[in-house]
Structure 1
Amino acid sequence: MIARRSAALLATVALVTALAACASAAAPKPSPTPTGFASKEEAFAAAEKTYRAYIDALNEVDLSDPATFEPVYAYLRGDALASEKKTLTQMHADGWTVSGKTTLPQIYAGNALGELIVCQDVSAVDVTDASGSSQVAPTRPNVFALDVKVEFDPTSLTAAKVSKSQAVKDSRC
């Protein structure tokens, strides 16, 4: 009798195991890449949105009022944040003013995820010192290219922050 029960129990366990193995597994949910974005398109969209928001905030800076710097800092991290803080703080201390707005006529995807090539137009921007003298170099191009690195950051309103930006040569700009 015990042998029959053991055989029946063993058969039941084997049947349940076989059925479980044959059952279809639930479809896996797509998971974000290590960058935090599910696709290159999503990463580009977040990077572009972040850089545009950063420039919008920068265009609203009043160098006489450091409180206006904070919205700019919200879109930056790492080297980009440190550099911007140093620049804006020094311009404020020196009594400089900025007039005009920077525009972004074109933004391209860079070679890596979260990398942008940004065409930046500063033709309408002037920076003057406390005496009213322009500090814009006569050789400054009106439009130039920047290689911008944007990293996933869930604390940002745009899901990303600018971490690096450097001027580059790019014939598209």
Structure 2
Amino acid sequence: MRPHSRENLAKLVILTVVVGLSGCAATPEPTPPPPVPSPTETFTPIFANNDEALAAATTAYAAYEELATVVASEGAINPERIQAVTSGSYEQFLLADLAEARSAGLRTIGTATFDGVRLQRVDERATGGVSVVVVYLCSDVSQVDVLDANNASQVAADRVPRTALEVGFDWEPGLDGVLTVGSRVAWKGGGVC
């Protein structure tokens, strides 16, 4: 999994539009300077404090795990449901992964759990609302089995049941305090699981 951001996608879209339209204009219009916030503008934080941000991230991850469990247990039918709790490139990766699982006739039984959630950082001014909150957590898949169409387990005997993860949560303006899973990568540092 490679984490990407909405910012990169936005830059690509803007670049595509600019390159596509560059031959259409007789003379380029000068680009206005970016707006400078006035000294009287105030920043309204999303969360009252770090504890509130951590609680929101924990709730968002629980919602993600719950929905991911349902979608995977149903053989990844209607995988777009996962879009309610995911965002960005992670969402696209997960949709592709679920499509592969559906094509292979795979489904899961059991429920993944998580614990040890620790706040890494809160950046409420993050560009595009990407990685507003980042946490470390320990994902436990010891109670999950992956079955093929013949109900034969596809889980490797040497599977590691507990994995440390770094999870980034995105925030979309207008959805105060609502976070979605925007990145989810293995954490190689210690002290999580």
Q: Evaluate the alpha carbon distance shift between residue 60 and residue 158 of structure 1 in structure 2; reply closer, same or farther with a 3 A threshold.
A: farther
Give the root-mean-square deviation of aligned CA atoms: 2.5
Quick one: structure 1 residues 158 and 84, their matched pair in 2 at CA, closer, same or farther if it must change by over 3 Å? farther
Q: Which residue is equivalent to 2:135?
A: 116
Unaligned runs of 5+ in 2: 1-39, 124-132
Dislocated runs of 4+, deviation >6 Å: none
- Name stretches of at least 5 consecutive residues in structure 1 with no aligned partner: 1-27
Relative to the length of structure 1, the TM-score reads 0.71
Whose relative contact order is higher, 1 or 2, with alpha carbons under 8 Å and at least 6 apart?
2
1:52 corresponds in structure 2 to 62
- CA displacement 1:78-109 (0-9 Å, x = unmatched): 12101110111110111111111001132111
Task: Assess if the C-alpha contact under 8 Å between 1:31 and 1:38 holds in 2.
Answer: no
**Quick one: distance in 1 between partners of 2:144 and 2:98?**
15
> Alpha carbons of 1:59 and 1:155: their partners in 2 closer, same or farther (altered >3 Å)?
farther
- Per the TM alignment, residue 154 of structure 1 is displaced from its structure 2 partner at its CA by 4.5
Query: Which residue identity lines up with residue 75 of structure 2 in the other structure?
Result: S
Instruction: Give runs of aligned pairs for residues 17-32 of structure 1, distance below 5 A.
Output: 31-32=43-44
What is the number of residues matched between the two proteins?
143
Aligned counterpart, 2:191: 171
Greater CA radius of gyration, 1 or 2?
1
Counterpart position of 2:47: 37
Cross-structure match for 1:24: none
Question: Would you say 1:93 and 2:94 are equivalent positions?
Answer: no
TM-score, normalisation: structure 2: 0.64
Partner of 2:90: 80
Residues 98-121 of structure 1: CA deviation (Å, up to 9, x unaligned):
111001132111145401111111
